[in-house]
Structure 1
Amino acid sequence: MAEEETRRHLVLAKPIALEDEKDSENTASNGIRRILSLFKNVRPGSDLTNFQLPPQLNQPRSQLQCYGEMIYSFGGQDLLGECSRRDLPIERLKSVVTWNISTLRPVVFGLSPYNPVLGETHHVSNGHINVLVEQVSHHPPVSALHATHENENIDVTWSHYFTPKFRGAYVDVEVKGKREMKLLNQRETYEMTMPGLVMRFLPAPGANWAGKFKIKCSETDLEAELHLNSDSFIGRLRGNNSRSIKGKISETSSGNQLYDIFGHWDKTVMAKNVKTGELEVIYNAKENISGLRPPVVKNLQEVMETESTMVWSELSEGVLKKDWERARKAKRAVEEKQRESLKQREASGEPWVPKHFSVVKHGKDWDCTPRQTSVPRAPLVIPET
């Protein structure tokens, strides 16, 4: 009976991994005309934040799940825990760089995750890592994430919101917000910015992370600056996979460079000691983002009604079975429920208050602080190998 309820109420989609690249290419070639047809009346420079896609162009997962997967879904060693296990400050920063690179995942062009509804959550555990994500704003869409590592006493907080702009031949997505990692045992805080995303339509379709992001720790006087290159037009036409990453690790106060960082985030990334010339592989994508497994239900009774996989279960079933009429009805039902909740709040005059985060808005910036000091164990878990 419990298994039947699980199947009926929860759809747990497989995370996007390196081996899904071929499916991504097929989706791109099959879906490019439909995508362009949706944009035929959209002017270059238009904000696409609230742009709605038909179910045929949806992945069977919410954007919240995509965020959570960046942290709880990995196939190799516990890279998050490594950040605190290193003895020297420079080694810890290198580990933080490695972990940041590991959060970059392939983007399936031609298919988009669902836009999360207000109050939607996603709560998953993997080993000693517990992750909780909540949609704290709908207009604009803002997602907040809190992750804690039980063994190594690590605290990670994110707040994300996109600003997608249509540029004619591509969509330029600026990722705004804040990322922070606290190594509590080391009394160190690492502040991080985020790269953007470029989705190209012509001359060859594709989507990739691009731009600059930084990692800085004031306690150790160390920082890293990294730059991601998306696939070039000519490179895509020749079948090349760029996804290159270049950067450096330096002392903040003196500017003295300590390491060169280079490689490809979907293959391997190297660090070169500027003083000694020593080379080391700091990241291997094949070990970390291959063979990824979806969560399983450990305790159905503890799954929140706001859990992403429950909110969108009917729509995901329709998408997976290609039952588009069922998918459209399910998507409409979720949207109508959200509109009804908004009407009720407006009628009562009660503002929306997120359950798991304290949210403060400073102009266009959003500051999301977890209400709990640690994330509890989740009813959804990544199974052990």
Structure 2
Amino acid sequence: MAEEQAGDAVPAAQKGSWTAFIKSIASFSGDLSSLTAPPFILSPVSLTEFPAYWCERPALFSDIANARNAEDRSRRVLRWFISTLKGQYTSRNESMGSEKKPLNPVLGELFYGIWPDADGRGETTLVVEQVSHHPPITAYYIENASKKLSLRGHSAQKTTFSSGSIIVKQIGHALLTVGLPDGGKEEFLITLPRLRIDGLWYGSPYIELAETSYIQSSSGWLSTIEYKGRGYFSGKSHTFKAVLASSSGRSHTYEGQWDTVSKDVRTGEVFTDVTSAKEEVTVRALEEQGDWESRKLWKDVSRGIREGDFEAASTAKSKIENEQRQRRRDEAAEGTTWKLKHFVHEDSDPTYERLGKLFKANPPTEDMYVFLCNAPKFDGSA
């Protein structure tokens, strides 16, 4: 993939800058997220928009509520999860020719969206808030009240350079809660895969998922998802193998490519197919958004990137970053701290610990961001 698209990410006038950037990455020993990337490798989209990828196929998300039993529910959760990966990790290659670095959100940045249900009876809503800047942490809450489904989580990244690739350890987790017909609930702990960004030396970065992630249900069913790139299970990029198993030993295996099609190994039936068009999240018009909402906050930066005016993008980006630095200095001088709008931080997550013990999660505990249920979901003021 990288060889075939060599140089696609780097304009001819920027090749020297790209080479210097790669050399700086290779010689840097800390977390790469602190480095400033050249504007031409930036995505015009802030990282706060990324939780929308969880529901770009909202029918699969809402379909979890139609499960017949715990086994069927875990199968539908796995199918939905696998179907979210393409948007999260390969959509920029398709739309921009290579992987791009998302804009690093500022503390307090917000993103709101909805997906109306196909039957017109409800909708799935999304609330995202940048809850930390150093390190960058994004918290999100997704809900379909009519289907009794909710997803809350947070994500951060620790980025290093190794053997010519950027290695991204995703920190955080998601917790899916499903309301059951009998009034009870089932919970699913979702851990996040590691990323490997290859193709750097060719100027055409792309993402491969690596290692293993898990989906542990409170019913006992566990999905173990192993990711490999070209040359492993199928000799193709973006391959995975998932085993859905119960504590009694009953299991199902699914494998294929998470960016196209996968199948049930036993029956040969299609398990996931993400080759059709996704459903974009609906957001308010730019003029109706608050100043802290992502698309309004970054509009001048995004315009510069999309139009190839990297000088204008860099100037607008520096203005936002300098304002943030000044805000932090003012808070330090006043002895105050930034107050989160939609989330409250907790040092530990009891549900993570309870479900994590079932598959020996590493780390054994994590913190969490609790969504304030009474928070206005589409109030963009700060």
Q: TM-score, normalised by structure 2?
A: 0.81
The answer to whether the Cα contact below 8 Å between 2:197 and 2:207 also exists between their aligned partners in 1 is yes
Residue of structure 2 in register with 1:213 after alignment:
213
Q: CA deviation at 1:114?
A: 0.3
**Aligned pair in 2 of structure 1 residues 317, 163: CA closer, same or farther (>3 Å)?**
same
**Aligned: 1:57 with 2:58:** no
SS for the counterpart of 1:221 is coil
AA partner of residue 92 (structure 1)? R
Matched with 2:315 is 329
Change (3 A) 1:119 1:378: closer
Q: Distance in 2 between matches of 1:118 and 1:326?
A: 23
SS class of match (2:325)? helix
Match of 2:262 among 259, 264, 269: 269
Aligned-residue offset at 1:374: 8.1
Taking a change above 3 Å as real, the CA distance of residues 67 and 180 of structure 1, as seen in their structure-2 partners, is same
Q: Kindly indicate whether the alpha-carbon contact (under 8 Å) linking 1:122 and 1:134 is maintained by their aligned counterparts in 2.
A: yes
1:166-315 pair list within 5 angstroms:
166-185=161-180, 187-201=185-199, 205-218=205-218, 220-231=219-230, 241-252=236-247, 254=248, 256-272=249-265, 277-287=266-276, 290=277, 292-293=279-280, 295=282, 297=284, 300-301=287-288, 303-315=289-301
Q: For the Cα contact (< 8 Å) 2:112–2:377, is it kept in 1?
A: no
TM-score norm. by structure 1 comes to 0.80
How far does the alpha carbon of each residue in 1:90-125 deviate from its partner, in whole angstroms, 9 at most, with x for none? 111011001111111215345211000000011011
Among 286, 290, 306, the residue aligned to 1:320: 306
**Structure 1 unaligned blocks of 5 or more:** 1-20, 380-385
2:22 pairs with 1:39: yes
CA distance, structure 2, for counterparts of residue 84 and residue 360 of structure 1: 29
The aligned amino acid for 1:71 is W
Q: Secondary structure at the match of 2:275?
A: helix
Partner SS, residue 319 of structure 2:
helix
Distance verdict in 2 for CA 1:378–1:197, change over 3 Å: farther
Q: Partner residue of 1:372?
A: 373
Deviations 1:179-199 (A, max 9, x none): 100002351000010101101
Give the partner amino acid of 1:191.
L
| Residues 1:96 and 2:82 are matched in the alignment | no
**Alpha carbons of structure 1 residues 116 and 202: separation in structure 2 relative to 1, 3 Å:** closer
Cα distance between partner residues in 1 of 2:330 and 2:37: 26
Deviations, residues 52-89 of structure 1 (Å, cap 9, x unaligned): 11222211110111232x12423xx6111111111121
Structure 2 unmatched ranges of 5 or more? 117-122, 349-362
- Once residues 228 and 130 of structure 1 are traced to their aligned partners in structure 2, the CA distance between those partners, rounded to angstroms, is 30
**Cα drift, residue 207 of structure 1:** 1.9
CA RMSD of aligned residues (A): 3.0
Deviation at 1:241, TM superposition (A): 3.9
The offset of 1:296, in angstroms, is 5.1
Distance 1:52 1:244, change over 3 A: same
Q: Deviations along 1:239-264, whole A, 9 cap, x unmatched?
A: x7421110211113x3x142011111
Partner residue in 2 for 1:383? none
The count of aligned residue pairs is 341
The answer as to whether partners of 2:141 and 2:152 remain within 8 angstroms in 1 is: yes
Q: Distance in 2 between the 1:270 and 1:81 partners? A: 21
1:84 paired with 2:65, answer yes
Residue 352 of structure 1 aligns to a residue in which SS? Answer: coil
The Cα of 1:318 is off from its aligned counterpart by 1.2
Deviation for aligned residue 1:279: 3.7
Deviation at 1:305, TM superposition (A): 2.0
Quote the Cα distance in structure 1 between the aligned partners of 2:374 and 2:176: 13
Structure-1 separation of matches of 2:210 and 2:15: 21
CA deviation map 1:262-306 (0-9, x unaligned): 11111212224xxxx43432210113xx355464535844x2321
Say which SS state the counterpart of residue 336 (structure 2) adopts: coil
Larger relative contact order, structure 1 or 2 (CA cutoff 8 Å, min sep 6): 1
